[in-house]
Amino acid sequence: MRPFTISNLFVILAYLGMVAMNAAAVLLPLNGVATDEVSAMYPSAFTPAGYVFSIWSVIYLGLLAYAVAQTLPAVRSRPAVARIAWPFVLSSVLNAVWLYTWHWLMIELSVLVMALLLLSLIVIYVRLRPSGVDPTPAERWAVRLPFSIYLGWISVATIANASGAIKATGWDGWGLSDATWAAIMIGVATVLGLIMLARHRDVGFVMVLAWAFVGIAVAQRPDRTLTAVAIGAALFLLLVALAFVGPARRSRRVGIPSTMV
C-alpha cells in the first residue's frame, strides 16, 4: 500500500491556496476590481451569462473531494491517482496566477496562463485514464468526475478568455462579426464534446459544455441566430450524451469495463 507522501500534503496545501486566492478575488476584491467587472471591460459574444460562473462552486467542491480522497489508503494507492498529484499542484498555482493577471488587467498574459492551466488539466485527464484500467467507484466519482468538470469549464473559459483578449487588440475578425466567431467557437467546442463522448464516454465534460452554451444563449438573447445556435448545440450534446449513458450503465451491470467518467 502506498504510504502518505509529501505529494499528498502538497495537494491539500495547493487546494487551500487556490481557494484562498479565489476567495480574495471575490471578497477584497483583488486590485479593487471584481472578476466579472474585468470581463465586462472586454465583452465577447462567447461569454456566457453571469450565473453560469456559479459552476466554480461545483468545481471547488469536486476538487475538495479529490483532495480528501487522495489521502485515503485505498485511493492514494491507485497508480493513476498518484501520477496526478504534482500536475494538480501546478494547475492550482496557475489558477491563482491567472487571477492575478486578470485582475491587474494583464489580459494577453492571462491567455497564456489560462492555456497553461488547460494543458496541465489535459495532462491530469490523460494520466487518470490509462489504457485497459477501470476505475474504482471512489476514483470515478471523487477523482475522475471533478477533473472532467474542471477540464470542461477551462476549455470554455480558454476560448472566452482568448476572445476577450483578441477583441481588446481591436482585431476586426477578418470581417466576421463577434457573433459569427462565437457561433464558430460553439461548433468547435461541440466537436470537442463529441470526441470526448466517443473516446471516453465523458458525460460530465459534455454537460459542462451544454451548461455554458445555454448561458451564452441567455447572454445573447437579442441575437436570435446566435441564441438558436447555442441552444441547438446544447440540446444536441445532451441528446448524444443520453445515447452514451444507457450502454455505459448496462455495461457496468454485466461487469464489462467502462470508460465513462
List pLDDT tens digits, range 215-250.
Answer: 999 999 999 999 999 999 999 999 999 998 766 555
pTM of the model: 0.93
What pLDDT is recorded for position 259? Answer: 47
What pLDDT is recorded for position 256? Answer: 43
Using the predicted structure, report yes or no on whether residue 257 has a pLDDT greater than 80.
no
List pLDDT tens digits, range 21-79.
Answer: 999 999 999 999 999 999 999 889 999 999 999 999 999 999 999 999 999 999 999 99
Q: List the chain domain ranges.
A: 6-253
- DSSP sequence for 29-72: -GGG--HHHHHHHS--TTPPPGGGGGHHHHHHHHHHHHHHHTTS
d(CA 259, CA 228): 32
